[in-house]
Amino acid sequence: MTTNATTADLQQRAQSVKLAIFDVDGVLTDGKLYFLVDGSEFKTFNTLDGHGIKMLINSGVRTAIISGRKTPVVERRAQNLGIQHLYQGREDKLVVLDELLGELGLDYAQVAYLGDDLPDLPVIRRVGLGMAVASADGFVRQHAHGVTKARGGEGAAREFCELIMRAQGTLDAAQAAYL
C-alpha cells in the first residue's frame, strides 16, 4: 500500500469504517470493456477481491457499489458476493453517497471508498478513507488518502478490505478460521 497519508493515518481512518464502497470498472475489474458481436458485454473479476469483500462483510462492515455504468453482470456479481447496496447508472456518485448515508444513518467519517477515475474523486475526497487503485488516474492517486499496490481487478479490492479489517482487529481471526 502506498500512501499519501502516513500508514498510521490510514489505519486510524480505517478503524471507524462502517461502510465500504467500491467503483466497478477499473477497481473490481481491469477497466477494460468487453463487448460481444451481439452487443452484450462481459467483465472479468478477481476471485481474491471477491473473497476479501466477503470477509469484510462477515466482519460486520456494510458494502456498496456505485457505478456510472449499468450492466446485469455487475448485479449478478454483487448478489454473489452479498454486497448489500448496489447503485448503477449513477454518474453523480456524491449524490448517491448522500442518499445512502441518509438511509443508513452514517456520516462521511464512517465510509471508505475505492475508486480509480475522476468521477470517483468527489467521493474519495469527502469520505473518511478515500483510496485509489494503483492503476488509477494520476490526479486521482494524488488526491486520495492512499493508493493500493495492486492494480484494479488484480487484488486492489482485497488489499483495501484487508487494510480495513487489520485496522479494526478482525483480519487475523478471519484468516485463522481457515487453519
Q: What is the mean pLDDT of residues 57-79?
A: 96
Phi, psi of 28 (to 5 degrees): -85, -10
Residues ≥6 apart with Cβ < 8 Å to 96: 66, 87, 90
Name the CATH architecture for the domain at 16-177: 3-Layer(aba) Sandwich (3.40)
- Alpha-carbon distances of 2 from 68, 115, 154, rounded to whole Å: 26, 15, 16
- Enter the pTM of the model: 0.94
Residues 115 and 16: their CA atoms lie apart, in Å, by 19
pLDDT at 26 over 90: yes
Q: What per-residue confidence (pLDDT) applies to 7?
A: 86
Name the DSSP class of 108. Answer: G
Helix 47-58 and helix 156-168, axial crossing angle in degrees, nearest 10: 20
pLDDT at 174 over 90: yes
Residues forming a β-bridge with 114: 22, 131
Over residues 4-21, the pLDDT tens digits come to 668 889 999 999 999 999
Residues 75 and 77: their CA atoms lie apart, in Å, by 6
Residues ≥6 apart with Cβ < 8 Å to 149: 1, 2, 134, 159
Q: What per-residue confidence (pLDDT) applies to 40?
A: 85
Q: What per-residue confidence (pLDDT) applies to 4?
A: 66
Residues 134 and 46: their CA atoms lie apart, in Å, by 15
Q: What per-residue confidence (pLDDT) applies to 39?
A: 85
Q: Which of 143, 140, 145 is nearest to 129 (CA)?
A: 145
Residues 30 and 167: their CA atoms lie apart, in Å, by 27
23 is in an annotated binding site: yes
Q: What is the mean pLDDT of residues 74-82?
A: 97
Q: What per-residue confidence (pLDDT) applies to 178?
A: 92
| Sequence spans of domains, the chain | 16-177
Over residues 110-165, the pLDDT tens digits come to 999 999 999 999 999 999 999 999 999 999 999 999 999 999 999 999 999 999 99
Q: What per-residue confidence (pLDDT) applies to 5?
A: 67
Host H or E run for residue 147: strand 146-147
Over residues 34-57, the pLDDT tens digits come to 888 998 888 999 999 999 999 999
**Type of residue at 43:** K
116 is in an annotated binding site: yes
